[in-house]
Amino acid sequence: MRIGELAARAGTTTRTLRYYEARGLLPARRGHNGYRTYDEDDLRLLRQIRTLQDFGFDLEETRPFVECLRAGHPEGDSCPASLAVYRRKLGELDALIGELQTVRAQVGQQLERAERARAELAADAEVPGGPEPVCELGGDHR
């Protein structure tokens, strides 16, 4: 198949395919007419790359999976190098989850503090002569 058909079947662009070719992820075969030619195995490579990128893998992290498929394995993640990338990515994700949990806790504490302060202002406003709560973002939005 030609580059346009492969791009359409893979849900990508010919520009992306040429980029993958330049990076060594997609084979650069040419037919007798000089056009790039591809087969179903190339489509499998692209689907593997796209799936991994959808999971947050950068392009270089897909290389071991592509090489595994090119070596004739039925799945791109059946080689030791691919498994190592999975392990490394899981470690990165666990670290990010930890950071996000910390940030979430901090935001939750800020919300609680802000709600207590607002409740105190509202309670003071009920007392004659107490302060009226005013939104700091402009205007009074009670």
Domain coordinates in residue numbering, the chain: 3-126
φ, ψ dihedrals at 36, nearest 5° = -65, 140
This prediction has a pTM of: 0.73
- Nearest alpha carbon to residue 46 among 88, 3, 78, 100: 3
| 50 DSSP 8-state letter | H
**Predicted local distance difference test score (pLDDT) of residue 98:** 97
Q: In this prediction, what percent of the chain has a pLDDT beyond 70?
A: 89
Q: What is the CA angle 35-39-40, rounded to 5?
A: 155
Average model confidence (pLDDT) for the chain?
90
pLDDT: which is higher, 109 or 136: 109
Topology (CATH level 3) of domain 3-126:
Multidrug-efflux Transporter Regulator; Chain: A; Domain 2 (1.10.1660)
Tokens of 42: 């190339």
